[in-house]
Chain A
Amino acid sequence: MTTGHDTAAAAPSKEGGAAPGRPPGDPAAADKERRRRARLSRRWQRDVRWSPYAFVSPFFLLFVAFGLFPLIYTGWASLHKVELTAPTDMDWVGLRNYTRIFDDEFFWNAAQNTLTIGIISTVPQLLMAMGLAHILNYKLRASTFYRVAMLAPYATSIAAASLVFVLLFGRDYGMINWALGLVGVDNIDWQNETWASQVAVSTIVIWRWTGYNALIYLAAMQAIPQDLYESAALDGANRWQQFFHVTLPSLRPTILFTCVVSTIGASQLFGEPLLFDANKGASGGSQHQFQTLGLYLYEQGWVNQHLGRASAIAWTMFLILILIGIVNYVISRRLRASS
């Protein structure tokens, strides 16, 4: 790659090199020339030294404005009693907003819902994604079409998707109950029963994200060297054995990645339950049966206008996420060590 004449051409100066086209022996001119070159050289060094920072600065400026500042401001607000109607009137309450979370049954209810919905949406979703990716990894006719089709739900807006699902899951006029009715199952009240509503919300999540994860798996699968399969086949492994002994181990980092991303996504679940609510409030159903932490945060902050409490909830969620991140990290290190 490095070609000698390139660097030679780019180098700004060589101290003491002959300056062509100049009469030698003019000390004043030579001195001037030397100073000029030194100046250029300094400028160049400064340029090399500082320009990268200038180039990356937009990210950091934006991060400070939209990431760090809100984080700190939220932390500050969480130590006060503040209402959204007058965000500048702050009453210092110390850790009161945090301590009350411990006996806030709505918070724990939301935390539990988030966990259950997270599990019943993430686990089937990743399993299905793996299966789909495996199928798509075979030589198929019109495989591009399938790949694009799989990504279509991901490209659909949550709002549009959730509204359609609300209609599908309707108790009296919904298509799913109609179909269940054909096989003799009584009408299920998808929005008001705890389990049914959580399954319904998970369905929206699964529908939306399965294709996305499948494509990630597919990309990882295609990076597995073909000769591994060939030698496995030579050893007499069938398709299933190949999948378990070649594909899965090679996908381990990818699986871990999708698990982390899905966990974060699940813990921030918001749009689907918000739009699934028949009451169109943020309480996640009449008995808060599918109110997630994100929804509870929104309800406290934007519906009830308790900015301080909402900030405390936000910070608690942030800490929980960090905890999850650490657990993920530990697990992944264990896995790596064992392999």
Chain B
Amino acid sequence: MRASTRIRRKAVVLAAVASLGTGLLAGCADDGKNESPSGDGDAAGKTTITLGLFGTFGFKEAGLYDEYMKLNPDVVIKENVVERNENYYPALINHLTTNSGLMDIQGVEVGNIAEIVSTQSDKLLDLSKYGKKSDYLEWKWQQATTPDGQTVGLGTDVGPMAVCYRKDLFEQAGLPTDREEVAKLWAGDWKKFVDVGRDYQKKAPKGTTFMDSPGGLINAILSSETERFYDSSGKVVYKQNPAVKAAFDLTAEAAEDGLVGNQTQFQPAWDTTIANSKFAAMSCPPWMLGYIKGKSKPEAKGKWDVAQAPKSGNWGGSFLAVPKSGKNAEEAAKLAAWLTAPEQQAKLFKVQGSFPSTPAAYTMPEVTGAKNDMTGDAPIGEIFAQAAKNAPVQVIGPKDQIIQQGLTDNGVILVAQGKSPEEAWENAVKTIDNNLDQ
């Protein structure tokens, strides 16, 4: 009896050790497979191309991988997705600086592209030979290009910004609901937008605010500025730039007057305000429509509409970069070019709402005929194409994200919580300067 349990225990230990061992071996084997020249995934002789992405790019959802694999039977595509860019980007930087652990294609967010261009371009393939420059929006192409002409990323999408608003809430507050008329109320100036907010708040349905969050408002205003945190020579000027201070003050004013909710975007509590219809308007790039749809209750369907923003801007958009160290770099570059070509971007817009960064796609039926069930019959393709054309060519800098996050999360949000605008600005500046190591 005792002997048998001892034997059994021994067997269990052995099995555990064996399984751990094979796990380790399998781990090694897996790595080897990805790096081997043939890169065989499951069948012999096939090239496996791996993509490292964050959030939802939607390539898979739009069926683009399947389509490409059908066109190129010797290619197998695999993606590895990290939910949030805050977690994805530091790892990407680490992998790039150590030149290991990289996927064949890596996604890069627009907030990080300047840093990638200025610090990592020697690790990345020049994609100007693969993508067609004339296809892309001029500024989008430029954002991923070094001063000496190396293009390190191909644009997947842009975020031309409009304003999404609730027709029912606007009506209850005595505001017009037609998207042309609404756009006219605030055309040309974000101050007018805040004034519309004051009108809204006078007769607002109980418990609602005009806009969703201070972060949403300051982001919208800043996105429509040409120069924000860096000047064109690459110097940090956010403190001296009157446009930044004006955006901060206008947002702070709106927060003090209670026109914006006291929430941080993309957090559970903010999601709940969408579900409970607690605000009437939000700054809204095309991808936001998908987000709204995901968080709304079914009865919100069709109650939203989209109007042009006071000034057009751009919020979001990503790039695909190809690390040189990849064994399949050339194949990967071809795939990246294909995924970001106008035809594919149009398909992606139809399924995923990522707005094309290639103007050629704007006349394709997938874009011109696009509808969204949150916004009823609004011709969203045309509205966003218009916004994309009007968006400024923005100067972007390597630490844009840190500065913007400081202004929002350590700045205007405090005003919504009852601090004075001066205190909030001081807190934001101290935080940003410390983070920039000024």
Interface residues of A (CB under 8 A from B): 83-88, 104-106, 166-167, 170-173, 189, 192, 278-281, 283, 286-288, 299, 302-306, 309
Given contacts A84-B94, A87-B97, 14 further A-B contacts (CB under 8 A): A85-B97, A85-B119, A87-B98, A167-B268, A171-B269, A279-B409, A280-B84, A280-B266, A281-B409, A286-B410, A286-B413, A303-B90, A303-B435, A304-B435
Quick one: which of A87, A166, A287 contacts B414, CB cutoff 8 A? A287
* In the complex with contacts A286-B409, A286-B410, A286-B417, A172-B435 CB distance below 8 A: no
A-B contacts counted at CB < 8 A amount to 75
Quick one: which of A83, A280, A286 contacts B86, CB cutoff 8 A? A280
Task: List the 5 closest pairs (A to B, CB-CB), nearest first.
Answer: A279-B409, A85-B119, A304-B435, A302-B90, A278-B264
> B364 interface residue, CB < 8 Å from A?
no
The answer to whether B269 touches A170 (Cβ under 8 A) is yes
> B427 interface residue, CB < 8 Å from A?
yes
The answer to whether A85 touches B120 (Cβ under 8 A) is yes
The answer to whether B402 touches A304 (Cβ under 8 A) is yes
> B267 interface residue, CB < 8 Å from A?
yes
Chain B residues with Cβ below 8 Å from A106 are: 431, 434
Interface residues of B (CB under 8 A from A): 84, 86, 90, 93-94, 97-98, 115, 119-120, 264, 266-269, 272, 402, 405, 408-410, 413-414, 417, 427, 430-431, 434-437
The answer to whether A280 touches B93 (Cβ under 8 A) is no
B118–chain A nearest beta-carbon distance, Å? 9
Chain B residues with Cβ below 8 Å from A170 are: 268-269
In the assembled complex, the Cα of A166 lies from the Cα of B419 at a distance in Å of: 23
Chain B residues with Cβ below 8 Å from A171 are: 269
B271–chain A nearest beta-carbon distance, Å? 10
Task: Specify the main secondary structure of chain B where it touches its partner.
Answer: helix
Quick one: which of A86, A288, A304 contacts B437, CB cutoff 8 A? A304
Chain B residue nearest in CB terms to A171: B269
Chain B residue nearest in CB terms to A167: B268
The answer to whether A287 touches B410 (Cβ under 8 A) is yes
The answer to whether A278 touches B267 (Cβ under 8 A) is yes
Chain B residues with Cβ below 8 Å from A84 are: 90, 93-94, 97
In the assembled complex, the Cα of A280 lies from the Cα of B267 at a distance in Å of: 8
Chain B residues with Cβ below 8 Å from A280 are: 84, 86, 264, 266-267
* In the complex with contacts A86-B97, A106-B434, A173-B269, A303-B402 CB distance below 8 A: yes
In the assembled complex, the Cα of A283 lies from the Cα of B402 at a distance in Å of: 11
In the assembled complex, the Cα of A283 lies from the Cα of B272 at a distance in Å of: 24
B96–chain A nearest beta-carbon distance, Å? 8
In the assembled complex, the Cα of A305 lies from the Cα of B96 at a distance in Å of: 14
The answer to whether B269 touches A189 (Cβ under 8 A) is no
In the assembled complex, the Cα of A259 lies from the Cα of B124 at a distance in Å of: 51
The answer to whether A283 touches B269 (Cβ under 8 A) is no
Chain B residues with Cβ below 8 Å from A104 are: 434
Chain B residues with Cβ below 8 Å from A88 are: 97
29 contacting pairs across A/B (C-beta < 8 A): A84-B90, A84-B94, A85-B97, A85-B120, A87-B97, A88-B97, A106-B431, A171-B269, A172-B269, A172-B272, A173-B269, A173-B272, A278-B264, A279-B264, A279-B409, A280-B264, A280-B267, A281-B86, A281-B409, A283-B409, A286-B410, A286-B413, A286-B427, A287-B410, A287-B427, A288-B431, A303-B86, A304-B402, A305-B90
B151–chain A nearest beta-carbon distance, Å? 19
* In the complex with contacts A84-B94, A278-B269, A286-B410, A304-B436 CB distance below 8 A: yes
A263–chain B nearest beta-carbon distance, Å? 28
Chain A residues with Cβ below 8 Å from B410 are: 283, 286-288
B122–chain A nearest beta-carbon distance, Å? 10
A87–chain B nearest beta-carbon distance, Å? 5
The answer to whether A279 touches B269 (Cβ under 8 A) is no
The answer to whether A85 touches B264 (Cβ under 8 A) is no
Interface centre among B93, B266, B430, B435 (most CB of A within 10 A): B435
Chain A residue nearest in CB terms to B423: A287
Quick one: which of B90, B267, B414, B437 contacts A309, CB cutoff 8 A? B437
In the assembled complex, the Cα of A309 lies from the Cα of B434 at a distance in Å of: 11
B398–chain A nearest beta-carbon distance, Å? 8
Quick one: which of A281, A305, A306, A309 contacts B405, CB cutoff 8 A? A281
Chain B residue nearest in CB terms to A304: B435
In the assembled complex, the Cα of A167 lies from the Cα of B267 at a distance in Å of: 10
A165–chain B nearest beta-carbon distance, Å? 12
Interface centre among A84, A172, A288 (most CB of B within 10 A): A172
In the assembled complex, the Cα of A11 lies from the Cα of B204 at a distance in Å of: 96
The answer to whether A305 touches B264 (Cβ under 8 A) is no
Chain B residues with Cβ below 8 Å from A288 are: 410, 431
In the assembled complex, the Cα of A111 lies from the Cα of B266 at a distance in Å of: 30
Chain A residue nearest in CB terms to B411: A286
In the assembled complex, the Cα of A189 lies from the Cα of B413 at a distance in Å of: 13
A255–chain B nearest beta-carbon distance, Å? 35
A125–chain B nearest beta-carbon distance, Å? 27
Chain B residues with Cβ below 8 Å from A281 are: 86, 405, 409
Chain A residues with Cβ below 8 Å from B414 are: 286-287
Chain B residue nearest in CB terms to A298: B90
